[in-house]
Structure 1
């Protein structure tokens, strides 16, 4: 049975992650191209996220060739404050505008489907490509959590970014 489509555009289809998609997710997460930018999860953490009503685990598929090109995890869908976190976005096929289009679709899901007041994320300070995409999509830097993650015996800082519902509406 095919996964439930959440939203689609001319470029992409975003659908619920199935258990058989987890090997792709783990491979992308651990790839040298991506692993320096994201926290690694176990297979069981991803399985748990698929079944968690407070999370949305999403596969990104190219509409042109139906190939999987990434995944997304949203958290806080049941948050009392209507604040949803873009917990993870990984694009395996970079340079085709998939990241920008995904963020646009994520905003639509969060603000129209889940009626969020705020969509937020953290991004590693050295992830300039992602910060550029988020800024271009209307996210504002809220601040820095300094040296909060230990990676390979060094500390890294996270930049907190968000967009509010009113800002999203102004961009439409």
Structure 2
């Protein structure tokens, strides 16, 4: 798999290394994340890292290399030019890493990968994530009713997406998306 690094002021997304998987597993199993993220084994993460259709990235602070979270994208080979933002997990909350990672992913997908559509699933009971996605222009396009069992009850999952023409319209407005981060290296 081709290594990827996306740099921005105070944030870097880079291809996940095997050595990062302990952090990745700890981040997804942390109590504040576990409720919203399926639990993968180290082998499942490693398989994703080796899959030519996926991009597994860690979010890090470029000043000191501290790992802040991780991202999984799926659909690099999709003939319809649609990619799934499968996971975005932030372990070090309160630093703005989540919104900045969402923005970096959006720019990478549309500017660098030439996507037509970026989509994701978010649980209805995760309003913080929904607000971030909406702020960056994702539109709710569907609902899977009672699709995830949580304890003794079920929760709806929302499908959200952004199309390339929506991204282009938003990126023309400096007030909607911050100035462009450095290009893909």
TM-score by length of 1: 0.95
In 2: Cα distance, 1:58 partner to 1:90 partner: 11
Aligned 1:31-70 pairs, distance under 5 A: 31-70=30-69
Partner residue of 1:22? 21
Show structure 2 runs of 5+ residues with no match.
172-185
Partner-residue secondary structure (3-state), 1:161: strand
Partner-residue secondary structure (3-state), 2:98: helix
In 2: Cα distance, 1:113 partner to 1:66 partner: 24
1:99 and 2:87 correspond = no
Show structure 1 runs of 5+ residues with no match.
none
In 1: Cα distance, 2:62 partner to 2:16 partner: 16
Deviations 1:21-57 (A, max 9, x none): 1110101111101000111111111010000000000
Aligned 1:66-85 pairs, distance under 5 A: 66-85=65-84
In 2: Cα distance, 1:6 partner to 1:28 partner: 20
Deviations 1:1-26 (A, max 9, x none): xx944211012111000111111010
Partner residue of 1:136? 135
Partner residue of 1:152? 151
Partner residue of 1:114? 113
**Count of paired positions:** 170
